[in-house]
């Protein structure tokens, strides 16, 4: 490029457009990955641009790759021990991409109608995605309790699915999967296993090391952790699945922006520290709630009475996640309880460094029918708490005063 040599002869209008751009990068390496906002990238000659397209290396157009986004993908791939990862503009976009890649015939890149066996207790929007974007277009979608090994084996034999989809810790009832057993079952029937690991994060479990094929994260949640950036990411166990994700991502175009990528990668730097505090806070909140007369039932894998406690203790290294769900004894008291909280924020998300409260029937599972919610065990009185990193004494005091309002009413 010869702009520098020609700049002296440029008119003012031309200088205002081009001056300062396309300067050489610094010789020193920046400590933090810069935010690359350019949508396109230049090569010295047309032949070099053509060679870059042929090799597939380098950057051309932001839908085909961005250095800031690539840094986030590399960070997650390393955290998950993956062959590669691909980032998307939201967690739902990432889940959609994972299902398409998993249902793509091995060695090919075009998605095809397929059969999916899904966990019965999925996040509400995931169920809607399966019904409206897969089943409605000819895919066979069936549901089963994947925590039940016998029922899973029977469903695998009956439906012969191409893809099995589940959450490592379910939202919001916090069922825990035996991933090692499920991997063994899926392999015996030739099904690819896709796991949404948003709630566990790689801090608690790395599913690819157990043989899971694709791991999905809503990066908006724990990975980012600050409530300021939306995104999703899929990590692949094999090179074939990673290539499939890359190729399909370029066509689908649900690209993560560089600003969001930088914020999500920055959030990952403190993920382990945040999860330690969030898990510790959740354990103490769950223990407190079990003692309160206004609470009918508490769902938390860290409690000895939880059906997945022993499995979770072995799988997660003695930590049990940052979510606690519980049933109020009187469901009609739920609005008073939520409105009385002062420190827990009523937000329809989870995984932030702030503590949050949500009502699944009105938020995460609102799109399901009352019958579907009942089938999944989601009652009108179910409350979900996402623990943040605040001092535990302040969190317990907030819960205590909100529950006291119910006793006084």
**Active site residue ranges:** 63, 123, 196, 221
| 156 neighbors 150 (Cβ within 8 angstroms) | no
Cis amide leading into 404 (omega within 30): no
Strand partners, 217: 233
Characterize the bridge pairing of strands 192-196 and 214-218: parallel
HEC secondary structure over the chain: CCHHHHHHHCCHHHHHHHCCCCCCCCCCCCCCCCCCCCCECCCCCHHHHHHHHHHCCCCCEHHHCCHHHHHHHHHHHHHCCCCEEEEECCHHHHHHHHHHHHHCCCCCCCCCCCEEEEECCCCHHHHHHHHHHHHHHCCEEEEECCCCHHHHHHHHHHHCCCEEEEECECCCCCCECCHHHHHHHHHHCCCEEEEECCCCHHHHCCHHHHCCCEEEEECCCCCCCCCCCCCEEEEECCHHHHHHHHHHHHHHCCECCHHHHHHHHHHHCCHHHHHHHHHHHHHHHHHHHCCCCCEEEEECCCCCCCCCHHHHHHHCCCCCCCEEEEEECCHHHHHHHHHHCCCCECCCCCCCCCCEEECCCCCCCCCCCHHHHHHCCCCCCEEEEECCCCCHHHHHHHHHHHHHHHHHC
**Other beta carbons less than 10 A from residue 396's beta carbon:** 17
| 358 neighbors 334 (Cβ within 8 angstroms) | no
Q: Which residue has the tokens 């003695």?
A: 318
Cα separations (Å) of 368 from 116, 376, 378, 383?
A: 19, 10, 10, 17
How many residues appear in the chain?
A: 409
């Amino acid at each position: 490029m010869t702009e520098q040599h020609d700049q002296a002869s440029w008119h003012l209008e031309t200088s205002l457009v081009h001056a300062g751009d396309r300067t050489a990068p610094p010789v020193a390496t920046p400590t933090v990955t810069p935010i690359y906002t350019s949508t396109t990238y230049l090569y010295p000659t047309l032949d070099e641009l053509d060679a870059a397209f042929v090799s597939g290396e380098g950057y051309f157009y932001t839908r085909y790759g961005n250095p800031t986004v690539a840094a986030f993908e590399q960070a997650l791939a390393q955290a998950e021990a993956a062959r590669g990862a691909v980032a998307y503009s939201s967690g739902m976009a990432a889940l959609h991409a994972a299902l398409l890649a998993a249902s793509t015939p091995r060695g090919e890149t075009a998605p095809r109608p397929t059969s999916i066996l899904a966990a019965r207790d999925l996040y509400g929007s995931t169920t809607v995605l399966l019904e409206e974007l897969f089943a409605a277009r000819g895919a066979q979608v069936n549901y089963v309790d994947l925590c039940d090994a016998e029922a899973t084996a029977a469903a695998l034999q009956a439906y012969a699915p191409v893809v099995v989809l589940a959450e490592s810790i379910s939202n919001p009832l916090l069922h825990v999967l035996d991933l090692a057993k499920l991997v063994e079952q899926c392999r015996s029937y030739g099904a690819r296993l896709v796991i949404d690991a948003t709630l566990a994060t790689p801090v608690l479990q790395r599913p690819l090391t157990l043989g899971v094929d694709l791991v999905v994260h809503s990066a908006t949640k724990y990975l980012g952790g600050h409530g300021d950036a939306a995104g999703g990411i899929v990590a692949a166990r094999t090179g074939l699945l990673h290539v499939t994700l890359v190729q399909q991502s370029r066509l689908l175009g649900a690209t993560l922006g560089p600003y969001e990528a930088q914020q999500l990668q920055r959030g990952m730097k403190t993920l382990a520290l945040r999860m330690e505090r969030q898990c510790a806070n959740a354990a103490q909140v769950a223990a407190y709630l079990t003692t309160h007369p206004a609470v009918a039932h508490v769902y938390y894998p860290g409690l000895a009475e939880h059906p997945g406690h022993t499995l979770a203790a072995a799988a997660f290294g003695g930590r049990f996640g940052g979510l606690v769900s519980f049933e109020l004894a009187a469901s009609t008291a739920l609005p008073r309880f939520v409105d009385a909280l002062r420190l827990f924020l009523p937000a329809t998300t989870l995984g932030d460094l702030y503590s949050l409260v949500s009502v699944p029937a009105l938020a995460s599972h609102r799109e399901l029918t009352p019958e579907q919610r009942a089938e999944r065990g989601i009652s009108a009185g179910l409350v979900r708490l996402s623990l943040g990193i605040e001092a535990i004494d302040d969190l317990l005091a907030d819960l205590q005063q909100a529950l006291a309002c119910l006793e006084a009413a």
